[in-house]
């Protein structure tokens, strides 16, 4: 199983969407989590965006990256520039990746204008995660098997 952790500052939008998308696209091959360097709670427009896409939202919550210290991940992926600078180091062999996205939680205007930003970021993430899942599975399959 491939373990991935998505990290952003508030764990309210981008990392939550990434977690839900990776669970959908990765299926049983992935164990996926999200966390924030300064968790603020899940943004209601994040939930609305995920529900519009038909993705489950139960069990999604804003968590601190501190909860995951000491755990090993195959991939630690920051999805905002600030989290990239403040994300703690995780033990073990893994890849640290950075996928910078606009923060939809900072969008202003009417609810529909703000939802347009959430949908845009969601679509960008969905495309990238779909491609990433294929690559991560290939990499996992190609990894040498330890023998005793």
Q: Which residues are catalytic?
A: 8, 80, 87
DSSP for residue 109: S
Convert 96-114 to b/e letters by CB count within 10 Å (16 or more is b): eeebebebbbebeeeeeeb
Cα distance between residue 125 and residue 85, in whole Å: 20
Q: Hey, which bits of 1-148 come out as E strands?
A: 2-8, 30-36, 75-78, 95-98
CB–CB of 39/11 below 8 Å? yes
93: tokens are 């062999």
């Amino acid at each position: 199983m491939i373990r991935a952790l998505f990290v952003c500052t508030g764990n309210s939008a981008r990392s939550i969407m990434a977690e839900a998308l990776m669970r959908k696209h990765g299926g049983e091959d992935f164990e996926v989590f999200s966390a924030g360097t300064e968790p603020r709670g899940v943004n209601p427009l994040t939930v609305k965006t995920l529900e519009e896409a038909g993705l489950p939202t139960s069990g999604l919550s804003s968590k601190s990256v501190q909860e995951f210290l000491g755990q090993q991940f195959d991939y630690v992926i920051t999805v905002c520039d600030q989290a990239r600078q403040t994300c703690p180091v995780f033990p073990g062999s893994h890849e640290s990746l950075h996928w910078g996205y606009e923060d939809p939680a900072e969008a202003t205007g009417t609810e529909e204008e703000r939802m347009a930003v959430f949908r845009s970021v969601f679509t960008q993430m969905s495309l990238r995660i779909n491609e990433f899942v294929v690559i991560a599975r290939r990499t996992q399959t190609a990894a040498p098997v330890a023998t005793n």
